[in-house]
Amino acid sequence: MIPLQQQRAWVNINHHNLTHNVKVLKQWLNSGTKLMTVIKADAYGHGAVKVAQTVIKAGVDAVAIATLLEGIELRQAGIEAPILILGAINTADEVKEIVKHNLEATLCSPHQAQVFADTLQSLNYVLPVHLKLDTGMSRLGTHWHNAVDFVKYVQQFPQLQLKSVYSHLATADEEDTTVMKLQQSRFEEAIFALKSANISIPCLHLANSAGTLCDRSLHYDLVRVGLALYGLYPAPHLRHTVPLKPVLEVKARITQIKTIPAHTGVSYGHTFRCDRPLKIAVVGIGYADGIPRLLSNKMNVIVQGKLAPQIGNITMDQLMIDVTAFPDLEVGEIVTLLGEEGEIVISADDWANAIGTISWEILCSFKHRLPRINLYEA
Ligand SMILES: *Cc1c(COP(=O)(O)O)cnc(C)c1O
Q: pLDDT confidence of 378, banded at 50, 70, 90?
A: confident
Domains identified in the chain, total number: 2
Instruction: Give the pLDDT confidence score for residue 6 in this predicted structure.
Output: 72
The answer on 207 and 72 residing in a single domain is yes
Probe target for ligand 1 pocket from 34, 35, 38, with the most ligand atoms within 8 Å of CB: 38
Q: Do 255 and 224 fall into the same domain?
A: no
Ligand 1 centroid to residue 129 C-alpha, Å: 18
- Asked whether 38 lines ligand 1 (CB < 6 A), one says yes
245 Cβ neighbours under 8 A, 6+ residues apart: 14, 17, 20, 21, 231
Do 154 and 260 fall within a single domain? no
Three-state helix/strand/coil letters over 75-108? HHCCCCCCEEEEEECCCHHHHHHHHHCCCEEEEC
| 316 annotated among ligand-binding-site residues | yes
**Does the beta carbon of 83 lie inside 6 Å of ligand 1?**
no
Residues forming the active site: 40, 268
Q: State whether 222 and 252 are in the same domain.
A: no
CATH number of the domain encompassing residue 255: 2.40.37.10
- Give SS3 for 126: coil
Is 362 inside a domain boundary? Answer: no
Residue 140 CA, closest ligand 1 atom number? 13
Tell me the whole-structure pTM to 2 decimals.
Answer: 0.96
Would you mind telling me the total number of residues written for the chain in this entry? 378
Residue 373 located in a structural domain: no
Q: Are 28 and 218 in contact (CB under 8 A)?
A: no
Q: Are residues 216 and 100 in the same domain?
A: yes
pLDDT at 49 over 90: yes
**Domain of residue 76, residue span:** 15-230
219 lines ligand 1 (CB under 6 A): no
Whether 174 is covered by a domain: the verdict is yes
Q: Mind listing the pLDDT tens digit for each residue in 187-241? A: 999 999 999 999 999 999 999 999 999 999 999 999 999 999 999 999 999 999 9
Chain segment 59-113, per-residue pLDDT in tens: 999 999 999 999 999 999 999 999 999 999 999 999 999 999 999 999 999 999 9
Q: Are residues 97 and 45 in the same domain?
A: yes
* Residue 225 CA, closest ligand 1 atom number: 9
Long-range contacts of 271-276 (CB under 8 A, 24+ apart): 271/296, 271/297, 271/312, 271/313, 272/297, 272/311, 272/312, 272/313, 274/311
User: 66 CA to middle of ligand 1, Å?
Assistant: 9
Domain boundary pick from 176, 195, 230: 230
Q: Kindly give the interhelix angle for 147-155 and 110-123, rounded to the nearest 10 degrees.
A: 10
Which atom of ligand 1 lies at the shortest distance from residue 40's CA? 1
Q: How does residue 367 score in pLDDT terms, banded at 50, 70 and 90?
A: confident
CATH number for the domain that contains residue 146: 3.20.20.10
Q: What angle do CA 59, 243, 38 make, to 5 degrees?
A: 45
What is residue 34's predicted lDDT score, i.e. its pLDDT?
Answer: 98
In a shared domain, residues 179 and 252: no
Q: Ligand 1 centroid vs 187 CA: distance in angstroms?
A: 17
101, part of any domain: yes
> How far apart, in whole angstroms, are the C-alpha atoms of residue 292 and residue 338?
12
Asked if 267 and 328 sit in the same domain, the reply is yes
The pLDDT of 51-66, averaged and rounded, is 98
For ligand 1, atom 4, the nearest C-alpha belongs to 226
Residues 111, 113, 116: CA angle, nearest 5 degrees = 115
| Contact in structure between 128 and 83 (CB atoms under 8 Å) | no
The residue-averaged pLDDT of 139-168 equals 98
pLDDT interval class at 1 (50, 70, 90): low
Same domain? For 178 and 130 the reply is: yes
180 marked as binding residue: no
Model confidence pLDDT, tens digit, residues 348-358: 999 999 999 99
Most ligand 1 atoms within 8 A of CB, residue of 46, 132, 224 to mutate = 224
Query: Average model confidence (pLDDT) for the chain?
Result: 96
Over residues 116-145, the mean pLDDT reads 97
Q: How many CB atoms lie within 10 A of CB 5?
A: 10
Least Cα distance to 133 among 145, 124, 119 occurs for: 145
Cβ of 209 closer than 6 Å to ligand 1, yes or no, is yes
Spacing, Cα 123 to ligand 1 middle (Å): 31
253 in contact with ligand 1, CB cutoff 6 A = no
Report d(CA 193, CA 198) in Å as an integer: 9
Sequence-separated contacts (24+) of 198-205 with Cβ below 8 Å: 199/148, 199/151, 199/152, 199/155, 201/151, 201/162, 201/164, 201/165, 202/162, 202/163, 202/164, 203/34, 203/163, 203/164, 203/165, 204/164, 204/165, 204/166, 205/36, 205/164, 205/166
Closest alpha carbon to 208 in 186, 233, 236, 191: 233
User: Is 203 inside any structural domain?
Assistant: yes
Q: Residue 369 — very low, low, confident or very high, per pLDDT cuts 50/70/90? A: confident
Judge whether residue 251 has pLDDT over 90: yes
Residues 147, 263 within the same domain: no
> For 311-340, what is each residue's pLDDT tens digit?
999 999 999 999 999 999 999 999 999 999
Q: What is the predicted pLDDT for the residue at 5?
A: 61
Beta-bridged to residue 250, according to DSSP, are 11, 338
